[in-house]
Structure 1
Amino acid sequence: MTHELITMGRISVDIYPHDIGVGLADVTSFGKYLGGSPANVAVAAARHGRRTAVITRTGDDPFGEFLHQELLRYGVDDQWVAPVPALQTPVTFCAIQPPEDFPLYFYGRSPSAPDWEIAAGELDTDAIAAARIFWSTVTGLSRARSREAQVAAHLARPQESLDTDQHTILDLDYRPMFWDSVEQAREQVSRILPQVTVAVGNSEECAVAVGEGTPDEQADRLLEAGVKLAVVKRGAEGVMAATAEERVVSKPLPVETVNGLGAGDSFGGALVHGLLSGWPLEQVLDYANAAGALVAAEIACSEAMPTPEKVNTMLADRGRTVPQEVSA
């Protein structure tokens, strides 16, 4: 089976509070969910009917078993999810203090985490080359072993452009706690950008990749680095996407934010769906914006990933174009 999307990188168990608006010390009950950005993106795309898989590692423990169960429940192929016996499955806690305060606390990632132990020699490069979209993250570049594997995966991909039906996407998910410095991260990102078709990040993440500037300036630098499509998230101002031929801005679809942590992953899965569907760029962005907004209004991330029906209903209700769904 050829996958429409293969993601690679972080996976964890997300422990999210049921108590809203208080600090973590005051939370009295929690829910347990599949987490980790690349895993969430695979789940999100599966909700849109896409054939997805994730390349990652867990601990050889009950939390690892839970993640396998959840991937399969969501329709994500787990054949490349293997245990690392010496390490524990990471757990991520957060506090939910809307509208903008959602601090994350990572456990089980020091001195290493299972998903940083993916080795280049373990990769199914034929499957990676055949996938219509391959998705990786900047977090995966922060450790030598996983960086080597990620570079090998990118090199396995065919030479691509936006005129083909294959894309290599880099999520610019810079998290400072995983790096020694911004300069170290920028060096690694600059090395891999020439192997990337699509780069996605907010203005702060784009600043790590290509420096400070306006969204247009950051998009220009990403294009100059070899990216064919630069997607710059602008927060309350929406999302801007640029290619060599066009520049499009999608205005946000405001919702009452409950937990903003999963919105970007929902956006990513919907972006994948839109690119695979061949929609005009403005419709791709509107659809992805709506998918992100729907998850921002919920506590959970993976469990809240919307179906096309929910996204299209929001688009119609907000007066946006509902794209034509495809089965291919």
Structure 2
Amino acid sequence: MGRISVDIYPNDIGVRLADVTTFGKYLGGSPSNVAVAAARHGRRCAVITRTGEDPFGEYLHRELRKFGVDDRFVTGVPGLQTPATFCAILPPDDFPLYFYGRFPTAPDLQIAADELDRAAIREAGIFWSTVTGLSQEPSRSAHVAAHEARPRNELLPGQFTILDLDYRPMFWASEEEAREQVAAILPHVTVAIGNDKECSVAVGEGTPDEQADRLLDAGVEIAVVKLGPDGVMAKTRTERVVSAPVPVETLNGLGAGDAFGGAFCHGLLAGWPLSAILDYANASGALVASRVSCADAMPTPAEVNALLAERGRSLPGTVEAVR
């Protein structure tokens, strides 16, 4: 549930945006990319979002269906344009983003609580949302209502409510405002995922272990803290796992986190050990980082397993057999 847009990415690599001459057009928006990634791993997915009533909105519906993502909960907003996101691709680590059509608001921030299918939200194996969805009304109230539709004490074994701590400062008045909204939603969350900066906004600065512990204290059952070049750490009340990064030549790092998220969902639903989930999700993110686009670049299970095997990190046979 949350952001969707059209990604306008350059075909010219290593060139400043002002000097790019040709672009490609792709489905974008972090939660939508996560749904595409999970669908690529064979999961049944739907997105709750809104677009403009324009050709770009039509394009996004078509792309969602192409990737096997249910678009029945994607509606148009009269008078607003579908957002577009431009980036420059300056490997190995400079990928600036420029958001258009999101200010002062965007269609996906017009999701309203009264249009939610609460039964579908309640019954989903995983409900995924991001902090960006809490940045503005009516989206904020809709996200709260969606989380309240998934009572913690009524979740079945194998059901998870995941919050991507995806903090983008341009969408907020201040870090304090974001922290307040995250604090209000965390009691409904079973899994929280974020990098150092995102965790700092959510629960304050500290070491990755301190941040994970604060997330656990807030009620989360699995705290995932991305460690950048050192990989990723996940912590529960009884387990701490660190997965080393899977080295690749980075071409565009923007979709790696979304690929990680979709693969993480796949592993959770498959019931894999936490260590296997992290290795698989890391490899998924690495593959997308080595490609230009985001949604179109999401890997298949065969590609992920092949990369892990190439790096000498094949998953256990019992895990590999799960599709």
Coarse TM-score class (shorter-chain normalised): over 0.9
Q: 2:85: which partner in 1?
A: 92
- 1:119-198 → structure 2 map (5 Å cutoff): 119-159=112-152, 164-198=157-191
Secondary structure in 2 aligned to 1:143?
coil
- 1:173-322 → structure 2 map (5 Å cutoff): 173-322=166-315
Q: 1:325: which partner in 2?
A: 321
For residues 246-304 of structure 1, give each alpha carbon's deviation from its aligned partner in whole angstroms, at most 9, with x where no partner exists: 00000000111000000000000000000000011000000000000000000000000
Secondary structure in 1 aligned to 2:320?
coil
CA distance in 2, matches of 1:87, 1:110: 11
CA distance in 2, matches of 1:123, 1:195: 17
Alpha-carbon offset, residue 319 of structure 1: 1.2
Alpha-carbon offset, residue 321 of structure 1: 3.0
Structure 1 residues 92 and 178 mapped into 2: Cα distance closer, same or farther (>3 Å)? Answer: same
CA contact (8 A) 2:110 2:137 kept: no
Q: 2:57: which partner in 1?
A: 64
CA distance in 2, matches of 1:44, 1:160: 29
- Which amino acid is 2:61 matched to? H
For residues 11-36 of structure 1, give each alpha carbon's deviation from its aligned partner in whole angstroms, at most 9, with x where no partner exists: 00000001111110000100000000
CA contact (8 A) 1:161 1:197 kept: no
CA contact (8 A) 1:161 1:228 kept: no
CA distance in 2, matches of 1:306, 1:207: 30
Alpha-carbon offset, residue 163 of structure 1: 8.0
Secondary structure in 2 aligned to 1:21?
coil
Number of aligned residues: 320
Alpha-carbon offset, residue 217 of structure 1: 0.5
Alpha-carbon offset, residue 158 of structure 1: 3.3
For residues 27-81 of structure 1, give each alpha carbon's deviation from its aligned partner in whole angstroms, at most 9, with x where no partner exists: 0100000000000000000000000000000000000000000000000000000
Structure 1 residues 161 and 94 mapped into 2: Cα distance closer, same or farther (>3 Å)? Answer: farther
For residues 220-239 of structure 1, give each alpha carbon's deviation from its aligned partner in whole angstroms, at most 9, with x where no partner exists: 00000000000000010000
Alpha-carbon offset, residue 164 of structure 1: 1.4
CA contact (8 A) 1:160 1:167 kept: no
CA contact (8 A) 1:41 1:266 kept: yes
For residues 203-245 of structure 1, give each alpha carbon's deviation from its aligned partner in whole angstroms, at most 9, with x where no partner exists: 1100000011111000000000000000000010000000001
CA distance in 2, matches of 1:141, 1:158: 19
Structure 1 residues 279 and 163 mapped into 2: Cα distance closer, same or farther (>3 Å)? Answer: farther
What 5-or-longer segments of structure 1 have no aligned partner?
A: 1-7
CA distance in 2, matches of 1:23, 1:244: 46
Q: Percent identity, please.
A: 72
Tell me the C-alpha RMSD between the 2 structures. 1.1
Q: 2:26: which partner in 1?
A: 33
- Which amino acid is 2:3 matched to? R
Alpha-carbon offset, residue 161 of structure 1: 9.2
Q: 2:104: which partner in 1?
A: 111
Alpha-carbon offset, residue 111 of structure 1: 1.2
CA contact (8 A) 1:162 1:197 kept: no
Alpha-carbon offset, residue 127 of structure 1: 0.3
CA distance in 2, matches of 1:170, 1:325: 28
Give the alignment's TM-score, normalised by structure 2: 0.97
- Which amino acid is 2:230 matched to? E
Secondary structure in 1 aligned to 2:48?
strand
Alpha-carbon offset, residue 162 of structure 1: 9.4
Structure 1 residues 31 and 181 mapped into 2: Cα distance closer, same or farther (>3 Å)? Answer: same
CA contact (8 A) 1:136 1:169 kept: yes
CA distance in 1, matches of 2:232, 2:102: 31
CA distance in 2, matches of 1:324, 1:129: 29
Give the alignment's TM-score, normalised by structure 1: 0.96
Secondary structure in 1 aligned to 2:128?
strand
